[in-house]
Structure 1
Amino acid sequence: MRAVIQRVTYAKCRVNEKITGEINQGLLILLGIEADDTIEELKWLAKKVIQLRIFGDENDLMNKSLQDINGNILLISQFTLFAATKKGNRPSFIRAAKPDTAIPLYEKMIQELESGLGKKIATGVFGGDMKIELLNDGPVTIIMNTKDKDNF
C-alpha cells in the first residue's frame, strides 16, 4: 500500500461536478493499493496516519496529531501511485490491485480510519474520474509505503 499524505487547510473531491467529499483542516490521503497488500498492512497504515504528529502546537512545532486537533480526512483511491515507468513512455499499472481486490481493501481502510478517528471521513469515488481541489498547508506532504515500514 502506498499513501501520499498531505496536510491541508481544506480539500474537496468532485465527480461529475458533484462534491463527493469535502473537509476543512486535516489530511488528504491518496491511497494506492497493490495486488498483494494485506489487512495487517492496512491496519498499520491507518494507525500510523491517525497518529502522525504533523500539525503545529502553540509553538508552531509539529507536535500534534489529527486526533489532537480534531482534524478530518479525505481519502482518495489512486491506482496510479503504482505506475511503473521504467520501460517506454506509457506507464504500466500491473502492480496495482484489480478492483475485486482493491475495493474491499479501500472500504476496509475507510472503516479503520473512521474507527481510529472516532468519526466519519470524506471520500472520493473508487474508480471515478475525480477532480481534487486542496490547499496544502505548509506545504507538508509525506509518502508512506507499507512494504518499506522500517523506514517510517
Structure 2
Amino acid sequence: MSRHPDLQKFLDRYFMVFLAGYFLSLYAMAGTFSLVWSTYCRDCSREINYPLSLGVLVVTLVTAHAAVVRGRDWGVWVVAALCIGSVVFLLPTYGFRPHMGIFLSIIVVVLLALLVLNSKRYREMRVLLAGYREKRRLERLNRNPKGRSAK
C-alpha cells in the first residue's frame, strides 16, 4: 500500500517527535501518579478514587494529544499543564523519601517532555497540523449539499 508523497514526507519529519512527546508525557504522568498514590494517598480509599483518578488522567492526556493531531492549539497547552502539574505534585513527594532513582527519572522525563513540546520541530508540526485543519474546514465549506466539490 502506497501513501501520498506529502503524507510520507510529513510522517518522516514529524512522527518521531510526536511519539517522543506522547510517550514521555505518558511515562511522566504514570510515574507521578504512582508516586502520589504511594505517598500522599497511602491511606486513601482505593476502591473508587484510584480508578477514577487514573481514568480522568488517561482520558485528559489522550484527548489532549488527539487534539494536537487534529490541529487544535489547546491540546499542547493541556499536555504542558499536565507536565507542569506533574512537577508540582512530584517535588513534595521528596519529603516521603521515595526511591531516588525513580524520583529523579520521573523528573528528568517530565523535563524532557516539556523540552520536546517546546522544540522547533514539534512547533512546526503543530503549525502544519493547524494548516491541514483549516484546509479541511475550507473543503467542507466549499462542498454542496450532495457532498460534491463546488466548481
Structure 1 length normalisation: TM-score? 0.24
Structure with the larger RCO, 1 or 2 (CA within 8 Å, 6+ apart): 1
Question: Whose radius of gyration is greater, 1 or 2?
Answer: 2
Structure with more of its chain in helix, by fraction:
2
